[in-house]
């Protein structure tokens, strides 16, 4: 930088020069004072004084001339020095003003502008005054020289006023262009700083955006992805491509800014260009990697779609095949239960049919496994790492092979089990036929005997004693038939041990036979008992054989189902036919209910022949009644309404007395005494007219 302060020297003309003239003026003053003294002396000596005045005048002229000459010489020396200094300052200043080398930063250019403004405000104004004073001094000197008849002053070469003006003009021209250049350069640097900052911002944003993008694009995550993952990766990649295309403008802007910085001669263009080139190279690399990744993703997608289609086909065929094997294993292990030879033969036929399907099933298994192998081959040949198993099924080839082996093992076991069961059912069939042949004889025999006994009990052939004899003969024949039943029981035991539950060869079961046998024995015994009771009743009541036959005829007539008992309506019809007033009015209903309470004390709803005989004999013969017994007890009680234990023991045999005491209720009447017993309720209970 030009040192303006060294070139900036101040010169004073006028007062300063006058001061210098004062030095010469001081001698002139002394001279004038002396002259005054001389004048005063000449006044005293006119001749000397005259002569003396002339000398003094001559001396005064000489001194005056010399003083002017000295002053002019001093002015010339000052001019020369001032002109030299001014020209030297101009010489030094013009190169500084003509220096157009730009600085790198705005701060440095602003400092140059500040220096220039300092030059205009501080350094140049004194020089303007010096130039003006120099011209004034030059003109004054020339005027003084001309007035003193001296030759004009000729400054040293190059120090003429015109030289100074020319230099000053050059200075003014340099100064004018310099300020304009400074302002333009500052504006240029401002533009450069703005562009550089814009470049840095956009470059930083772009670099931050691209950070990790290359690693992402180089990542081979698609090798382990599923089809759904690949589709997601492709959508993500498409979004990235859209983002990449959107960033193309930023890269172009970065390159355009770098180009403009180069055109504006930015001082740090090398680093800008290096960074811009790096961004462009990285951008090209990202474009190439993006294209490569898209190709890889699309290729992998096609391969995974092929694998996925194979997986789907595998699943569609493996699922029903797996279900078939599971059903087959379930059927082969099924604990079958059969009861006939036809059923086991049906199972054997079905099993043979199943075995005939095994070759086709094996071919289906091989085809399913081939699909799986093809998917594996595609994955391995394209370096695809399949993640996990088939997404459409959990049935793996290992499961299929394992279950197939299980089926192969179960088939011969099933064969053996079916053959064993066939043999068992053949044996059971023999037992069924053996039991059926015996049961078909025993069952009808029992049924025939039951019918014969029923006819005997209903028919009125012969006397009661003849019927009884006939029934006992039947009873002996039934007992003699028992070995046939025992044989059937033995055969049934074998059937039970063989767990045979049905027999199509007979309608008779052992339970039916047993029930029929027991009913037969019960019926014959009950029928014999009824005849015996009828004989007892006949003898006790004095009923003749003809009356007994009439009772039987009436009973059988109304026993429409020949069940051996009359229902309420049948019994009512029988009573009406016999002349009883039991019609459907209130009195008739009361009478019928009274009679039903006698013949059916247990309210079973049926009237047996024995009950019918008892009722009819009671109605037709003179028998004891509850009133007659009450009257007898009243005699024993001394006409009291109660009787005591002492009276009973006194009047009756001991066992009968104790029987009455144990069963008679305490008497509750107003005339009761301690130990009184109620013989009325006891008497009515004896005849079923009240509870005992």
Q: How confident is the model at residue 402 (pLDDT cuts 50, 70, 90)?
A: very high
Can you tell me the mean pLDDT for 477-493?
Answer: 88
481 shares a domain with 424: no
Average pLDDT, the chain: 80
Final residue of a domain: which of 429, 459, 489? 429
| CA-based nearest residue to 132, from 164, 166, 155 | 164
Q: What is the pLDDT of residues 161-182, one digit of tens each?
A: 788 888 888 888 887 877 777 7
Is residue 639 a part of any domain in this protein?
yes
552 shares a domain with 480: yes
397 shares a domain with 336: yes
Using a pLDDT cut of 70, give the percent of the chain over it: 89
Contact 571, 558 (CB under 8 A): yes
Mapped to the 3 state alphabet, what secondary structure does 599-651 carry?
A: HCCCCCCCEEHHHHHHHHHHHHCCCCCHHHHHHHHHHHCCCCCCEEHHHHHHH
The C-alpha atoms of residue 103 and residue 326 are separated, in whole angstroms, by 92
Final residue of a domain: which of 127, 155, 189? 189
**What's the token pair of residue 214?**
């290359």
- In the chain, % helix, strand, coil (3-state, to 5) comes to 80, 0, 20
Q: What is the pLDDT of residue 336?
A: 79
Over 80: is that where the pLDDT of 322 sits?
A: yes
Over 60: is that where the pLDDT of 5 sits?
A: no
645 shares a domain with 605: no
114 shares a domain with 171: yes
Q: What is the pLDDT of residue 11?
A: 34
Q: What is the pLDDT of residues 560-588, one digit of tens each?
A: 776 677 888 887 788 777 777 777 777 77
Contact 107, 113 (CB under 8 A): no
Can you tell me the mean pLDDT for 12-24?
Answer: 38
Q: What is the pLDDT of residue 26?
A: 44
Is residue 208 a part of any domain in this protein?
yes
Q: What is the pLDDT of residue 367?
A: 94
231 shares a domain with 99: no
Is residue 49 a part of any domain in this protein?
no
The C-alpha atoms of residue 201 and residue 253 are separated, in whole angstroms, by 11
Is residue 2 a part of any domain in this protein?
no
Is residue 692 a part of any domain in this protein?
no
Is residue 644 a part of any domain in this protein?
yes
Query: Coil, strand, or helix at residue 565?
Result: strand
Can you tell me the mean pLDDT for 361-370?
Answer: 92
The tally of domains found in the chain comes to 5
The C-alpha atoms of residue 618 and residue 543 are separated, in whole angstroms, by 11
260 shares a domain with 132: no
Q: What is the pLDDT of residue 457?
A: 62
Q: What is the pLDDT of residues 337-361, one digit of tens each?
A: 877 888 888 988 998 998 899 999 9
Is residue 15 a part of any domain in this protein?
no
List phi, psi (to 5°) of 65. Answer: -65, -45
Can you tell me the mean pLDDT for 429-457?
Answer: 84
**What's the token pair of residue 126?**
């004194």
CB hemisphere CA count around 498 (13 angstroms): 25
Residues 6+ apart with CB under 8 A from 176: none
Q: How confident is the model at residue 689 (pLDDT cuts 50, 70, 90)?
A: low
Final residue of a domain: which of 590, 616, 642? 616
> Which of 440-449, 501-510, 542-551, 656-665 comes out lowest in average pLDDT?
542-551
Using a pLDDT cut of 90, give the percent of the chain over it: 8
Query: Coil, strand, or helix at residue 183?
Result: helix
Is residue 462 a part of any domain in this protein?
yes
236 shares a domain with 171: no
Over 70: is that where the pLDDT of 92 sits?
A: yes
611 shares a domain with 500: yes
pTM of the model: 0.40
Over 70: is that where the pLDDT of 25 sits?
A: no
Q: What is the pLDDT of residue 148?
A: 76
Over 90: is that where the pLDDT of 491 sits?
A: no
129 shares a domain with 67: yes
Q: What is the pLDDT of residue 683?
A: 86
Can you tell me the mean pLDDT for 40-57?
Answer: 70
Q: What is the pLDDT of residue 130?
A: 80
CATH number at residue 641: 1.10.238.10
Alpha-carbon separation of residue 100 from 114, 175, 177, 507, 511 (angstroms): 15, 12, 10, 138, 138
262 shares a domain with 134: no
CATH number at residue 367: 1.20.58.60
**Structural domain span for residue 574:** 446-616
492 shares a domain with 591: yes
Q: How confident is the model at residue 625 (pLDDT cuts 50, 70, 90)?
A: low
């Amino acid at each position: 930088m030009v040192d303006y302060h060294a070139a900036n020297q101040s010169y004073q003309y006028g007062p300063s020069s006058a001061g210098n003239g004062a030095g010469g003026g001081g001698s002139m003053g002394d001279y004038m004072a002396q002259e005054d003294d001389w004048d005063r002396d000449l006044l005293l000596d006119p001749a000397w004084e005259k002569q003396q005045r002339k000398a003094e005048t001559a001396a005064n002229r000489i001194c005056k001339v010399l003083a002017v000459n000295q002053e002019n010489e001093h002015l010339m020396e000052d001019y020369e020095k001032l002109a030299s200094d001014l020209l030297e300052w101009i010489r030094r200043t013009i190169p500084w003003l003509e220096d157009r080398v730009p600085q790198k930063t705005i701060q440095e250019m602003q400092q140059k502008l500040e220096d220039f403004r300092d030059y205009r405000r501080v350094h140049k104004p004194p020089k303007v005054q010096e130039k003006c004073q120099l011209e004034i001094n030059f003109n004054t000197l020339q005027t003084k020289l001309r007035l003193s008849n001296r030759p004009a002053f000729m400054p040293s070469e190059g120090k003429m006023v015109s030289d100074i003006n020319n230099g000053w003009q050059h200075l003014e021209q340099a100064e004018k262009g310099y300020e304009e250049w400074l302002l333009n350069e500052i504006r240029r640097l401002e533009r450069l700083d703005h562009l550089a900052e814009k470049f840095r911002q956009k470059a930083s944003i772009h670099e931050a955006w691209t950070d990790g993008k290359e690693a992402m694009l180089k990542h081979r995550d698609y090798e382990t992805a599923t089809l759904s993952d690949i589709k997601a990766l492709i959508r993500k990649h498409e979004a990235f491509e859209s983002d990449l295309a959107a960033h193309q403008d930023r890269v172009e802007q970065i390159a355009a800014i770098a180009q403009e910085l180069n055109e504006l001669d930015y001082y740090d263009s090398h680093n800008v260009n290096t960074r811009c080139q790096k961004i462009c190279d990285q951008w090209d690399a990202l474009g190439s990697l993006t294209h490569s990744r898209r190709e890889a993703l699309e290729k992998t997608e096609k391969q995974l779609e092929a694998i996925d289609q194979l997986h789907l086909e595998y699943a569609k065929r493996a699922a029903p095949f797996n279900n078939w094997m599971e059903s087959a294993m379930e059927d082969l292990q099924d604990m079958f239960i059969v009861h006939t030879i036809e059923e086991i033969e049906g199972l054997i036929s079905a099993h043979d049919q199943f075995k005939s399907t095994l070759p086709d099933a094996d071919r289906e298994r091989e085809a399913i496994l081939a699909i799986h192998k093809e998917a594996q081959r595609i994955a391995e040949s394209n370096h695809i790492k399949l993640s996990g198993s088939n997404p459409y099924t959990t049935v793996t080839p290992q499961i299929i092979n394992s279950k197939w082996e299980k089926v192969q093992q179960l088939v011969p076991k099933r064969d053996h089990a079916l053959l064993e069961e066939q043999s068992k059912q053949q044996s059971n069939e023999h037992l069924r036929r053996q039991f059926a042949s015996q049961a078909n004889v025993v069952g009808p025999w029992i049924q025939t005997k039951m019918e014969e006994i029923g006819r005997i009990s209903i028919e009125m052939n012969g006397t009661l004693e003849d019927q009884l004899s006939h029934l006992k003969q039947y009873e002996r024949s039934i007992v003699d038939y028992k070995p046939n039943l025992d044989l059937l029981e033995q055969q049934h035991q074998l059937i039970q041990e063989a767990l045979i539950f049905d027999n199509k060869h007979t309608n008779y079961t052992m339970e039916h036979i047993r029930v029929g046998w027991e009913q037969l024995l019960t019926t014959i015994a009950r029928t014999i008992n009824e005849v015996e009771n009828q004989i007892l009743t006949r003898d006790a009541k004095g009923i003749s054989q003809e009356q007994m036959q009439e009772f039987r005829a009436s009973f059988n007539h109304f026993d429409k189902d020949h069940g051996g008992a009359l229902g309420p309506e049948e019994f009512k019809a029988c009573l009406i036919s016999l002349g009883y007033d039991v019609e459907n009015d209130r009195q008739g209903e009361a009478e019928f209910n009274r009679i039903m309470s006698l013949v059916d004390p247990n309210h079973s709803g049926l009237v047996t022949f024995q009950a019918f005989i008892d009722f009819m004999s009671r109605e037709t013969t003179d028998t004891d009644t509850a009133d007659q017994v009450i009257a007898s007890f009243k005699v024993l009680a001394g006409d009291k309404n109660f009787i005591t234990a002492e009276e009973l023991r006194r009047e009756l045999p001991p066992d009968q007395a104790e029987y009455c005491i144990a069963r008679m209720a305490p008497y509750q009447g107003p005339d009761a005494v301690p130990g009184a017993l109620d013989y009325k309720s006891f008497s009515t209970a004896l005849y079923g007219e009240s509870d005992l």
